[in-house]
Structure 1
Amino acid sequence: MTSQSTETNPGPHASPTHRLRLELDGRGTGAYDGFWWPHSRDLASELPGLLTTLVPRLGSIHRVIYHTDEWATAPRKLDFAGRQVRLDGYRHMAARTLEILGVSGAHLTLQVITPLAASDMTTAEQRWDSEGGAGRRSRGWTRGRTAAY
C-alpha cells in the first residue's frame, strides 16, 4: 500500500492542522482510503476543513455519510464552497467511518479516530510507560499495538 499524506499522521507533538492521512492503494483493496482525526464531535464544524483538503482529489463534494451515534446532532445540509453538501447519518453504518462522495462519482472512505479514542490511546500509552512497559502486560496493552476503534 502506498501512502500519500495530504497532512501527516497526528502524534503527541503534531500541529492541530495535521489531521488527515490518506493511504491509497492503487489496486483499491483496502477497506479505508485514509484516516481522519477530528478535534471534536461537532461534524458541522469539523467538515469544512476536511472537505477543503479533499476537493483537489474529489472535485465538488455533494454528500457525506456518517454514523449518527458518533457525532453531535448535525444539520441535513452544509453550505460549502458555494453549494450544499448533503449530510446523511445512519445508525447501521460501520462505526467510526465517514464516506465522502464527489459530484463526479469519486469517493473516499475514511476511518475516523474520534477525540475520545485518541484520548484513550494516549492514556493507555502513558499507563504503559509508567508501569515499566514490557515488564507489565497484565492489563492487555502491548507496545506497537493500537487500541481497537
Structure 2
Amino acid sequence: MTTTIPFTPAVEDRALSSAPLRLTLAPAGAPPALIDGAWWPRSRNLTEQLPALVECLDALWGRITRVAVSRTFWPVIPGKVPAHGHMVRVGWSNAGQDPHELSLLSYTFGRWELLVIPPETAPATAARLMVTAADPSRNLTASGLMHEAESFRTMAEDEADSDSMREAVWESESGHDARHPTSRTPVGAVIDHLPTPAEGM
C-alpha cells in the first residue's frame, strides 16, 4: 500500500509554488529499498520546487538538512534553499548521482532516496511511476524505473499501431462494407469501449 501526500505549502511559501505537492512514499515500516518513493515536480526550477518538498518531509522524517541532486536533471542548482524556517544545503554530482534520483538527508532519521519524475511526463506514465516507486517489493534504481516505464510506453504504442494496422487491413479486405448498414458497428458500442482517462492511468 502506498501513501500519496496531498500537501499544500504553508501560506508564506505559496508565492513559490501554490499547487499541491505531487509525492508518493513507501508505507511506514516497509523494508529498506533502493527508492523510498517518487516526486513529480511541476518544473525544473529547483529553487521554486524544493521548499515545499522539504517542508512536507520535515514533518514526516525530521528536519531535512541536505539534498543531493544530479546536474543532468536540474539546469540551475542553488547552494541553499529556504524551507519552513531553516536553510537546506543543496549539493550535486555528475558521476555519483543517479540522474533521476534526489537524495535527502535528515538530521533525525538518515538518508532517503526519491525518484524524480520529469515535469513533462504524461499523467498516465507519471501515475504508474509513482505507484511503482512506492512499492517496497520492487528493487529497481530510479533510472531502472524510468527505463521500465519507457519500455512499457513503447510497447503500448506498438500495440496501438498494430491494432490500427489490423483494422486497416480488415477494411481493405472488405471487412467493412458501407453498402450494408447491418455490417456497421453502432456508435454506442464503440464509445462504450473507449478507455476513460482514469483507466488510462
TM-score of the alignment, normalized to the shorter chain, above 0.5: yes
* Structure 1 contact 41–115 (Cα < 8 Å) conserved: yes
Flag the 1:40–1:109 CA change in 2: closer, same or farther, 3 A: same
Equivalent residue pairs, number = 127
Q: Deviations over 1:13-65 (max 9, x none)?
A: xxx52510112373534211101100000111101111111111121111001
Moved more, 76-85 or 32-41: 76-85
What is the SS of the residue equivalent to 2:26? strand
Query: Which runs of 5 or more residues in structure 2 are unaligned?
Result: 8-18, 127-152, 166-198
Give the match for residue 73 of structure 1. Answer: 76
1:61 pairs with one of 57, 60, 64: 64
5 Å-filtered alignment, 1:18-97, equals 18-24=21-27, 26-92=29-95, 93-97=97-101
Runs of 4+ aligned residues of structure 1 deviating over 6 Å after TM superposition are none
Q: Percentage identity across aligned positions? A: 27
Whichever structure has more strand as a proportion of its residues is 1
Give the match for residue 183 of structure 2. Answer: none
What is the SS of the residue equivalent to 1:48? helix
* Structure 1 contact 24–34 (Cα < 8 Å) conserved: no
1:135 pairs with one of 147, 163, 182: 163
Give me the whole-angstrom Cα distance separating, in 1, the residues matched to 2:67 and 2:101. Answer: 11
1:7 and 2:35 matched: no
Amino acid at match of 1:114: P
Larger Rg: 2
Give me the whole-angstrom Cα distance separating, in 2, the residues matched to 1:134 and 1:56. Answer: 49
* Structure 2 contact 21–53 (Cα < 8 Å) conserved: no
Flag the 1:18–1:76 CA change in 2: closer, same or farther, 3 A: closer
Whichever structure has more helix as a proportion of its residues is 2
Alpha-carbon RMSD across the aligned residues, in angstroms, is 3.3
Give me the whole-angstrom Cα distance separating, in 1, the residues matched to 2:41 and 2:34. Answer: 20
What is the SS of the residue equivalent to 1:30? coil
1:112 pairs with one of 88, 109, 116: 116
Q: How high is the TM-score relative to the length of structure 1?
A: 0.69
